[in-house]
Amino acid sequence: MEKEILSFFISFMVQSIVMATKKKMTMLCLGDSYTIGEAVPATQNFPNQLNGFLELKGLTFAPPQIIAKTGWTTDELMVAIAETSTKRKYDVVTLLIGVNNQYRSRTIENYLEEFNRLLQIAWKFADKNPKRVFVVSIPDWGVTPFAKQDKRTTRKISAEIDFFNAVNKSLSKSAGVNYLDITAHSRKAKLDNRLLAEDGLHPSGLMYKNWAKRLAMAISMELATTQ
């Protein structure tokens, strides 16, 4: 009996050590205020909530590396990526960018060109595996109280957001990467102020929770089929 107990204890300890030393997967999140989580605690942004939901699915990730800043357009994100000089490869790469292109009235042609370049960058970070890249659509800030200060109507803002999303969706499909449409959910903020942060513009942790849950499902399914 003592030998059996000792054998079980050794086996348990070995398994514990293996689990403890198991290499964690890595994630890179590229974007703007919607990725960094403007106006909410860092723990509530979608990359960090995503990490938690992936953990519940048995997928252990290191803390996500985030290259994002409030106000960034596609070209500013590319400059920031270049300045990091990182050549690491990641198990998962997310990309959400374009709202500031639309806000600043940048042309759709400019967005198409630069978003396509960012897709190529994300693809390289994902070790040239398009199935490890996850593009997130642009939320519709036109439904927020902040939009009332803008000279454009809510309808016009929403139409422009749809136009930009049509571009990033088409390019994502052509590149063979994953695409998550969260725009419809973001529009629920028009009737549910719990989905907005206190600044009346950016998503709350509750909205990010929805994005994170859906991304976790997509990522876990993708990893299950490609590992």
Structure tokens of 39?
């106006």
Supply the pLDDT for residue 18: 35
Residue 128 falls in which region: left (phi positive, over 0), alpha (psi -120 to 50) or beta: left
pLDDT of 12: 43
Q: Between 3.40.50.1110, 3.10.20.30, 3.30.70.2860, 3.40.720.10, what CATH number should domain 22-226 receive?
A: 3.40.50.1110
pLDDT (0 to 100) of residue 85: 82
Contacts of 27 (CB under 8 A, 6+ apart): 47, 50, 51, 61, 62, 64, 65, 90, 91, 92, 93, 94
Residues composing the chain: 227
CA torsion 145→154→164→212, rounded to 10°?
40
Q: What does pLDDT average to in each consecutive run of 10 residues of the chain (227 residues)?
A: 49 40 87 98 98 97 98 98 92 98 98 98 98 98 96 96 98 98 98 98 98 98 84
pLDDT at position 15: 43
Q: What HEC string does 142-164 produce?
A: HHCHHHHHCCCCHHHHHHHHHHH
Q: Could you tell me how many helices (H) and strands (E) the chain has, helices first?
A: 9, 5
- Comparing C-alpha atoms, which of 205, 192, 190, 99 is closest to residue 145? 190
The dihedral through the CA atoms of 112, 117, 121, 126 has a sign that is positive
Report the amino acid identity of residue 163: F
Predicted structure pTM score: 0.90
pLDDT at 2: 57
Residue 135 host element (H or E): strand 133-136
